Amino acid sequence: MYQLSGGASPPERGETTELGAKWMLLNGDLAFRTALYSTAKEYERNCDLDSTAAILTKKSSTNGLEFELSGRITSNWEIFSGLAFMDAKILETATNINATTGAVTVVYKRFEVERARNTPAMTFNAFSTHKVTDK
């Protein structure tokens, strides 16, 4: 239960469907992975789009496409990188009830179909490791 809901709303639930593939190249020294996914959530905590206050969304969804590339440049040097594109939308807002004061906050309906602030449209990461010695 969320503190914001005062126990009136059920816990967050989510369901993800994903379709992906992975290819091993260069005798296993290079791997490429891609996936399409769709995630639906209920009673998710989000940020108010106009302030830093938290709101409780009743329904939200994220559809995405991601790519990952990892490989071995030398026997001592490995890399990993990923790129993801995400379309996150608030589908329906919930009424927030302060657990301490009991105050009811009605979330603006205009938040519906807007992007959730804490979900970027695109992310990129890169990571590299290098073994200096065999020990």
Tokens of 132: 């200096």
Q: Indicate whether 134 belongs to any domain.
A: no
Q: Indicate whether 21 belongs to any domain.
A: yes
Residue 67 and residue 120: Cα distance in Å, rounded? 16
Q: Indicate whether 67 belongs to any domain.
A: yes
Residue 42: CB atoms within 10 Å:
18
User: What is the structure's pLDDT at 113?
Assistant: 78
Give me the number of domains the chain comprises. 1
Tokens of 127: 């990571």
In a structure prediction context, what are the per-residue pLDDT tens digits for the chain, which is 135 residues long?
445 545 566 788 999 999 999 999 999 999 999 999 999 999 887 666 566 666 778 889 999 999 999 999 998 999 999 999 999 998 888 777 766 777 777 666 777 777 877 789 999 999 999 998 877
Residue 24 and residue 32: Cα distance in Å, rounded? 7
Q: Indicate whether 135 belongs to any domain.
A: no
Q: Indicate whether 89 belongs to any domain.
A: yes
- The distance from CA 95 to its chain's CA centroid, rounded to whole angstroms, is 23
Supply the range of the domain harboring residue 124. Answer: 3-129
Give 75's contacts (C-beta < 8 A, 6+ positions apart): none
Q: Indicate whether 70 belongs to any domain.
A: yes
User: What is the structure's pLDDT at 56?
Assistant: 76
User: What is the structure's pLDDT at 54?
Assistant: 67
Tokens of 128: 């590299």
Q: Indicate whether 30 belongs to any domain.
A: yes
Tokens of 44: 């998710």
